[in-house]
């Protein structure tokens, strides 16, 4: 399969690497002028947990190919679109007249109605998924991250189409297990408020990485997420269909917070995943908290912990994400 990764962010890079290693033809679309800045290889320092519980460390310089233009008659089979949720309208507007014959995989956070979030992209050409990887680019340009053994795919209340099944197969060929979520709209929103709870406390400390091993702060993050569950219910999410997703907020925090603190401090994949999010100027955590709080206020729902954290995300970032 010929695959275009839209942008050279963390998720695009990690999955682009995995898909290319599986034999797929992978390129990156980047803004004009960026290819020369990035150079012809990416330095990777990854924990690859696809086959080992504790993961296998991969340190390599990975040669990559970039393109800075995308004509409508391109021959890509798949475009992987993994951008911060607040940049999705801009990205879909760019891609809509340039989709060619490709399927577009929307691969990340969505907080609006999914059908509206894709703008002018044709719904029958879109697949929906969510990465199970993470990390960050360090100041020296090295991508330090984690690739977990599964990836989430979902639909909006119907069986997968042939296009969607072909996308799933490409990820299976990359050694990834597929986790299906038929109510993907609800799943995305549960995940979004979970992020808001974690980010609200991470921003208070400076970055998400500071939560690793921090029992008290993780407790506050869990409680912040719990306070957001009524927002989901008010938006029409049937929480009974997402018991696994909300379980973290149902378990007593006095029990769960120390367990999470120990895991994030001692289990290598989890520790790497959270410690890699050390950019104090990253945009997405702030945008997630802003949008979640705005929706809670629109619905008239009190979310005191997120409201208390507002000074940490209300204003613009100093420099934006390094990704």
| DSSP single-letter state for residue 100 | T
- Choose among 239, 253, 133, 250: nearest CA to 190: 239
Predicted local confidence at residue 317, as pLDDT: 52
Q: Strand locations in 9-86, DSSP E?
A: 25-29, 41-48, 56-63, 66-67, 78-81
What does the pLDDT read at residue 286? 96
pLDDT value of residue 279:
85
Strands of 91-230 (E only): list them. 103-107, 126-130, 133-137, 143-147, 150-154, 177-181
Helix (H) or strand (E) holding 275: helix 268-275
Residues 177/152, Cβ–Cβ less than 8 Å? no
Beta bridge partners of 129: 107, 153
Contact 227, 281 (CB under 8 A): no
3-state helix, strand, coil in the chain (%, to 5): 50, 20, 35
CA distance 223 to 200: 11
CB 285 within 8 A of CB 208: yes
* Residue 221 and residue 264 in contact, taking contact as beta carbons nearer than 8 Å: no
> What is the token pair recorded at 229?
């569950």
Residues linked to residue 57 through DSSP beta bridges, in sequence order: 47
pLDDT of residue 92: 97
Q: In what order do the strands lie in the sheet with 25-29?
A: 66-67, 25-29, 2-6, 78-81, 103-107, 126-130, 150-154, 177-181
Query: Whole-angstrom Cα distance, residue 279 to residue 207?
Result: 6
Residues of the chain with pLDDT under 70: 316-323
Q: In this structure, what DSSP letter does residue 267 have?
A: S
Contacts of 128 (CB under 8 A, 6+ apart): 105, 106, 114, 153, 154, 155, 156, 164, 184
Reported pTM: 0.94
- Output the CA angle 171-199-236, nearest 5 degrees: 70
Give CA–CA dist 309/296, Å, rounded. Answer: 14
Strand-pairing partners, residue 25, are: 2
The predicted pLDDT at position 321 comes to 39
Q: What is the pLDDT of residue 284?
A: 93
Q: Which domains occur in the chain, in start order?
A: 2-182 (3.40.50.720), 186-312 (no CATH)
Kindly report, residue by residue over 24-67, the tens digit of the pLDDT. 999 999 999 999 999 999 999 999 999 987 889 999 999 999 99
Pairing of strands 2-6, 25-29: parallel
- Which single residue is written with the structure tokens 């038929």? 182
Q: What per-residue confidence (pLDDT) applies to 323?
A: 39
Residues in the chain: 323
Whether the Cβ atoms of residue 285 and residue 199 lie closer than 8 Å to each other: yes
């Amino acid at each position: 399969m010929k695959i275009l990764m839209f942008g050279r962010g963390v998720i695009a890079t990690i999955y682009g690497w995995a898909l290319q290693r599986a034999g797929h033809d992978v390129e990156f679309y980047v803004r004009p002028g960026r290819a020369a800045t990035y150079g012809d290889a990416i330095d990777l320092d990854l924990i690859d947990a696809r086959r080992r519980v504790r993961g296998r460390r991969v340190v390599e310089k990975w040669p990559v190919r970039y393109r800075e233009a995308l004509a409508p008659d391109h021959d890509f089979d798949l475009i992987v679109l993994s951008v911060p949720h607040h940049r999705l309208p801009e990205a879909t507007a760019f891609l809509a007249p340039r989709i060619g014959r490709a399927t577009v995989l929307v691969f990340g956070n969505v907080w609006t109605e999914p059908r509206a979030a894709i703008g002018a992209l044709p719904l029958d050409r879109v697949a929906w998924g969510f990465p199970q990887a993470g990390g960050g680019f360090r100041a020296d340009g090295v991508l330090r991250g984690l690739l977990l053994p599964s990836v989430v795919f979902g639909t909006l209340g119907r069986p997968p189409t042939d296009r969607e099944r072909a996308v799933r197969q490409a990820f299976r060929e990359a050694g990834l297990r597929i986790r299906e979520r038929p109510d993907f709209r609800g799943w995305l929103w549960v995940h979004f408020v979970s992020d808001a709870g974690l980010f609200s406390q991470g921003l208070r400390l400076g970055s998400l990485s500071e939560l690793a091993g921090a029992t008290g702060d993780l407790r506050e993050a869990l409680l912040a997420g719990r306070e957001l569950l009524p927002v989901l219910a008010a938006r029409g999410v049937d929480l009974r269909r997402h018991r696994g997703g909300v379980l973290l907020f149902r378990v007593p925090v006095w029990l769960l917070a120390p367990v999470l603190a120990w895991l994030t401090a001692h289990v290598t994949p989890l520790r790497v995943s959270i410690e890699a999010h050390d950019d104090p100027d990253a945009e997405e955590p702030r945008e997630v908290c802003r949008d979640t709080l705005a929706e809670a206020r629109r619905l008239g729902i009190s979310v005191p912990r997120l409201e208390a954290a507002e000074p940490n995300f209300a204003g613009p970032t100093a420099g934006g994400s390094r990704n």
